[in-house]
A = this chain, B = another copy of it.
Amino acid sequence: MPKAVVLLSGGMDSATVLALARRKGFACHALTVDYGQRHRVEIAAARTIARLLGVRVHKVISLDLRWIGGSALTSNTPVPKGRNTIAGIPVTYVPARNTILLGLALGWAEVLGAHDIFIGVNAIDYSGYPDCRPAFISAFSRMARLATRSGVEGGRVRIHTPLIRRSKADIVRTGTRLGVDFRRTTSCYDPDRRGRACGRCAACRIRRKGFADAGIQDMTVYHQQS
C-alpha cells in the first residue's frame, strides 16, 4: 500500500478526506497540529477520528501560532456570530496556516517516502480564504516538487484536494456513504468550555446548512439555536 500524509483537523472535511484516502488504498499517516486554536476541542476529535478510521500513524504536534495572531482563531478577536454578510477575507482566516501545515506534511512525507498529501481545503464555503483556492494549491504543488529530495532526484509530490469544489451537502453525503461518524467531528470556531458547538458562528451555520441541504439528520449538539 502506498503511504499518504493526511492533514486531519478534527472537522468534517478532513475526516471525509481521510475516508476518501483510505478508500483509494493509501496507508494513511495523519497529522494534526495544535496551533493554539480557540477551538482546541478539535484536537480530541481528531484523535477519535484517526482511531475510528484506522490510520497507520497519527501525529499530533504543537506549533503555537498565537505569536503571529492576526486571526479570531488565534487571538482575542471575537468570532462573529449570526449571519455575516461582510465581503472579503473572514477574520477566522489564519495567516499562512495552510502553507505551514502543508510544509510540515511535506517534510514528513519525504521521510516516509510518501508521494501523496491530502488536505480538506474547500473553495466554496469559505470563498474568502486565500489559501483554500485552487491557484494556491497549484502553486504550492509546484514549489513542493522543488523543495525536497524528490525534487532533486526526480520524484513527485502530489497535493490531493478532493473536496476543493464540493458543497457542504455533497461532503455530508460523501462522508456518510464512506462511514464517517460526523458526530465525532467538530466544526465550531467558538465552543463553550464543555466543548459544545455554539450553533451561530460561520462554521456552525455552514455545517447545519450542509446537513439540511443533504437531507441527513445533524446529530450535533449545539449550545444555542441559530
Contacts and interface: CB of A to CB of B under 8 A. Distances in A.
25 contacts: A61-B64, A68-B104, A68-B108, A70-B110, A88-B152, A89-B152, A89-B153, A93-B149, A94-B107, A95-B108, A95-B149, A96-B107, A96-B147, A96-B148, A97-B107, A99-B147, A100-B107, A131-B148, A135-B146, A139-B139, A139-B142, A139-B146, A139-B147, A140-B143, A142-B142
A69 interface: yes
A139 B142 CA distance: 7
A86 interface: no
Contact of A107 (B62, B65, B106): B65
Interface residues of A, number: 46
Interface string A103-139: 1101110110000000000000000101101011001
Contact of A111 (B95, B139, B140): B95
A111 B148 contact: no
A179 interface: no
A107 B106 CA distance: 18
Contacts of A63: 63
A151 interface: yes
A107 B130 contact: no
A223 to B, nearest CB: 30
A88 B152 CA distance: 9
A144 interface: yes
Contacts of A183: none
A56 interface: no
B99 A144 contact: yes
A59 interface: yes
A167 interface: no
Contacts of A147: 96, 98-99, 130-131, 136, 139-140
A96 B67 contact: no
A103 B147 CA distance: 13
A89 B146 contact: no
A151 B130 CA distance: 7
Nearest to A142: B139
A72 to B, nearest CB: 13
Contacts of A100: 100, 103-104, 107
